[in-house]
Amino acid sequence: MNKDSLFNDIQILPRGLYLQIGFVVKTLDPTIIRSNEPEEVLTYPYQSLGNRFIIPWRKFKGKLRRLVMEQQRSYDISPNCSLKENLCMACPSCFLFGGTGETYQVNVSYNLLSRILGETLISLQEVKDVFTYTANAVDEKDYTTGQALMTTVAVPPETEFLGIVTIKDPTPEIAAIIVDNLKRVKRIGASNREWGRCETTILGYNLSDREYVSVYELVQKNQKNEISKVFEKVESLKLPTDIKECFNNISTRIQQILLELKPKPKK
């Protein structure tokens, strides 16, 4: 195996190969990305980039993990595994995103370190305006609104966020699952039953013995077409297209690994 190709097997110990997948999330709707207050939206005043909208990796990772879990349940793989306190610690999702065994209901004697790394998503455009919406309840008898119920502050439509997901020790099956579920991110943020429609575009990949690029560095390039030049086309990886088979192959290998981890009886 060289640094120009993915691993063809899954092993317990890290082997120093990193697959970075660049992508852009474009909001199609007002999108609520907040910290703790209902009337604020997450921004950060970077010294070099100016004031930008941001999506913390933890928020995006939660969305991505739930999509992966949803997909594996559709294939009847660990259908009862769920966040937060009911992780099975033995399925593809747990293997990819990690977990602490002794804190969950299964109470296993091992932890799983996440193989999916990430960083803050940063808007390609500086903050100019925010979207503000005031909700009112209308009385059915006299059609008066009375006092406003709440004001929602959101990221405006057509805002583009740059993101990078990094897979440690990638195999074609792991990469195929992550790429497929990145494309499935169609809503993001709070109250996304009503808000947060978006589209996700894969820019490409980098494969290296280290995390080669960062969102911060790429946003400094300022032009989306310049950012795209940093990545190779994902199609050149020739990833498998049967996602169900990818899950099944990973699940089989995980069971083998767990057997290897079991303490052997003393003679």
Structure tokens that stand for 198 in this block: 């978006």
Q: pLDDT at residue 70 above 70? A: yes
Q: What is the mean pLDDT of the chain?
A: 88
Helices assigned H by DSSP within 101-214: 172-183
Contact call for residues 125 and 160 (beta carbons, < 8 A):
yes
Among 49-53, 147-151, 227-231, top mean pLDDT goes to 49-53
Query: Percent of the chain having pLDDT more than 90?
Result: 64
Q: pLDDT at residue 63 above 70? A: yes
SS3 call for 98: coil
Structure tokens that stand for 181 in this block: 């579920």
pLDDT for 39: 59
If one compares 45 and 1, the residue with the highest pLDDT of the two is 45
pLDDT for 191: 80
Helices assigned H by DSSP within 125-189: 172-183
SS3 call for 29: coil
Per-residue pLDDT band for 237 (boundaries 50, 70, 90) equals: very high
pLDDT for 32: 84
Structure tokens that stand for 249 in this block: 């192959």
pLDDT digits (tens, 9 = 90+) for 98-154: 988 776 677 788 889 999 999 999 999 999 887 766 666 555 665 555 555 666 778
